[in-house]
Amino acid sequence: MTIDILPDDVLLEIFHFYLVSRRSAGWRGLVQVCQRWRNLVFGSPLHLGVKLPCAARTSLGETLDVWPALPISVDQHLCSMLSQVECENLLAILELHQRVCEIDRTAVSNEHLEQVGQTMQKPFPALTKLLLESSSPPPLVLPNSFLGGSAPRLRVLELKHIPCPALPNLLMSTTDLRHLYLSSIPLSSYIPSQVMVTCLSQMTRLKTLAIEFYSSRSRPSQTSSPSPPSTPTVLPALTYLRFHGWCNYLEDLVANIDTPLLNSMSLSFFMRYTYNTPQLSKFISCTNQLRSFRRVDAVFYKHTIKVKLYLQTDLTADSALDLEILCRDPDQRLSSLVQLCQSLPSLSILERLHIRRGQHEESALPYNIENAGWLELLGRFAGVKNLYITEPLGLPVMSAFAGNGVTVLPALQNIFLEGLQPSGSLRDNVDQLIAARQSISVHHLNVWLDRLQEINRWVRAQLLQKSQQQHETPLQSTVFGQ
């Protein structure tokens, strides 16, 4: 038996499996085996993902003469470092608009970006991936006729620091979009939340969405938000949402969408003195994958405060929801955190709470915050059983417990002081808490040792599970026994 007896459809599936593991470059080896393989590969470029990679130094004439009319992938990073000849070569490649399927160009200078915008005013019917990043301020605005106003096959779209007034119309045509990243959006490219929802309503296959505004120094005038519709827009495939900007913009957005498969969010808000996010709270509560948190980390940085929520209590798990507040005034960090937590649902069922300083962070922390601030924060976590406090936040937190230890965290069983040796005022606060709550145990803990032990337990559990699966499968047992 030889491979020649296999039918074409079987060979294509073998080629597909091979190219997925070897990425796109492997097709050149296949077409040199025999004429039959060459015809199969070149006859099914879309199915096999066959692309002709081109960059600034690609000899376009020689490349087109050697290979048939395959889809073209334009991949060129650091475009601002190219010579005039290399820039012209890339523009010549873009002129083949009927064949270009991927464009990845980062660090594009304004001069070159202007040329790209003029060249890409035609429809690109084969385009599935477009990544553009500007490198020089102020950002250059793409023309209204960019891509001919339509991109029906586009699956990945990322624009970074590039205004595009025609973006809403362009998004309305991208019904096959899977990943949308709008990063460092300048005010000149602001898209109202209601317009964005209308655009998203066409994207039933969208999996990841990122909307990041450039600066909080100026923002468009706010009008009264319309009441949420009775039937929000459903994004049935969305699993990840990233947002960076004004909290009221996110409020309008989540009030108008439904994401049944969403399992991860990363949200970053510009500094405000009040945070009121009832729509976000409702949105999280109605999302099946995000409404059963078990652990929370409150992390203090120099100019930010982060809240990381986990669906599991172990330290090896990835966070499902990250919230970040940008605070230029360090004294506002704790009060901002308290306000944000007041709008989050299901905090009362959390079992594990970490209060710590960010890694490699050496800025001053809120030592002198009044106890009321910490008490108000801890009051949101009525179900916490294990409290972890990392040096040097032990003293202000334990001081808050000293006078109110009976009422705060009623389910608390253990306090772990990471990197702290109780002494002085801290020792007095610990003794006072134990006297008031004899059911609470206070432990001195080495944080790195704790993490290592927990990771070791996780690795052992995985190895045990794998071993059990092997023994339950007779075929695998036989193979490994040879």
Residues 6+ apart with CB under 8 A from 281: 343, 344, 345
Whether the bond between 392 and the residue before it is cis, its omega within 30 degrees of 0, is yes
Which phi and psi (to 5°) does residue 71 adopt? -60, 145
Query: Judging by DSSP bridges, how do beta strands 386-390 and 352-357 pair with one another?
Result: parallel
Q: Is the pLDDT of residue 253 over 90?
A: yes
What CA–CA distance (Å, rounded) separates 458 from 463? 9
- Looking at the whole model, is its pTM more than 0.85? no
Is the Cβ–Cβ distance between 412 and 398 less than 8 Å?
A: no
Predicted pLDDT of residue 264: 94
Residue 224 confidence class, pLDDT cut points 50, 70, 90: very low
Give the model's confidence band at 259: pLDDT under 50 very low, under 70 low, under 90 confident, else very high.
Answer: very high
Reference 117, options 102, 135, 132; nearest CA is 132
Say which range, 93-97, 233-237, 312-316, 478-482, has the weakest mean pLDDT: 478-482
Phi, psi of 61 (to 5 degrees): -60, -50
Instruction: Report DSSP state, residue 226.
Output: P
Phi, psi of 57 (to 5 degrees): -95, 5
Q: What mean pLDDT value characterizes the chain?
A: 80
Q: Which residue has the higher pLDDT, 148 or 475?
A: 148
Interatomic CA distance for residues 290 and 150, integer angstroms: 35
User: In the 8-state DSSP scheme, what is residue 222?
Assistant: P
